[in-house]
A = this chain, B = another copy of it.
Amino acid sequence: MSNSFGKLFSITSFGESHGNLIGVIIDGCPAGLAITEKDIQKELDKRKSGDNPASTTRREEDKAEVLAGIFNGYTTGAPICLVIWNTDIASSDYTKTRFLPRPGHADYPSYIKYGGFGDYRGGGRFSGRITAGFVMAGAIARKLLKLIRIEVMAYTVEIGGVVARDMGFDEIRHNIISNPLGCADDEATRRMITVIEEANKQNDSLGGIIEAVAIGLPAGIGEPVFDSLDAELAKGLFAIPAVKGLEFGIGFEAARKKGSDINDPFIIENDKMATSSNNAGGVLGGMSNGMPLIVRVAIKPTASIAKKQRTVNMKEIKNARIELKGRHDVCIVPRAVVIVESVMAITLCDFALKAGLIPRIIK
């Protein structure tokens, strides 16, 4: 079950980059949720390439299709199967470089793990393309969370060393709607586009940081000690290729602060418990504390770069060079925003079901 995630609201990922399809099974979705292919497509479109300056010019026209679990416009309580069919695949190139693992890619460990039987075309199971399944499942998760007034939102906070300025969630929510990089800071966006264009000219790539936030999560969500809120989110987020680190609240900065600086004092706000700061990022002892849940995810630069790179023929154990053809994303951060958001939504749905926040039947 290593391709499944979640206990009560769980997803199972399947499909390959250049196979027939990319798919996802969602098991445990309550019956009675109104959902259409259009709802799913809307989220999926946020992931598509060609729409932002950091992305490949190749356009994937991914179309979400419901194969099971939705009937007459409502979820049935049965497993939901969503797929996108792969079309226009040119995979003849891949045989030539089959034994030349791309630096920074899963090619080498997957060759060892699966004895060379893996579908190597376009990275197969290790292509970022499989995250389209996460996004489709996320569309359903977000609809469920909306019912219980939990909002999940992700946005770009850093690309290629350019950092967006801090701002409030309302401003962020407003600004990211039309921003091409999923960033709330227009000024930083301009500089991000500049570094992206430079990296593109150099046949190179860039990484960045995505922040995701959940607003409206009541206190006490999380299942310590091992299925805690932060632990499950971390597990889910590391399923996104290119994630190399994550932190909650001030995260790594906490290592350099004093307790008196970062302990968030409790206060009364609107007759309810709150904290006057949110260095914890909304999570204490593996449970939500009622404040916005904030996680930041480090995305490494796209491993696929056009520059010639050193590698080893893994069949013959012989030094080699590899030069990747085709067009790749200079920076996947803008497209990954909706993926991070989706994984967060999926994870929180599972917790919301465990906590009894979502009814078994939506009415």
Contact = CB atoms under 8 A, between A and B. Distances in A.
A310 interface: yes
A15 B245 contact: no
Contacts of A246: 234, 245-247
Interface string A290-307: 100000001111111101
A124 interface: yes
A46 interface: no
B118 A77 contact: yes
17 contacts: A1-B6, A1-B227, A15-B68, A16-B71, A19-B71, A31-B113, A31-B114, A71-B117, A76-B114, A77-B113, A104-B264, A208-B255, A231-B234, A244-B250, A252-B298, A266-B314, A268-B318
A314 B113 CA distance: 38
What is the size category of the interface that chain A forms with chain B? 35 or more
Contact of A81 (B10, B23, B238, B317): B23
Interface in A195-216: 199, 202, 204-209
Per assembly, the copies of the chain total 4
Interface stretch (A49-57, A135-143, A281-289): A281-289
A170 interface: no
Nearest to A21: B67
Given A14-B78, A78-B118, 20 more contacts: A1-B6, A3-B79, A14-B69, A15-B67, A15-B81, A31-B115, A71-B117, A77-B118, A106-B224, A202-B260, A204-B259, A206-B259, A224-B239, A231-B239, A234-B234, A259-B300, A259-B303, A265-B311, A266-B310, A273-B312
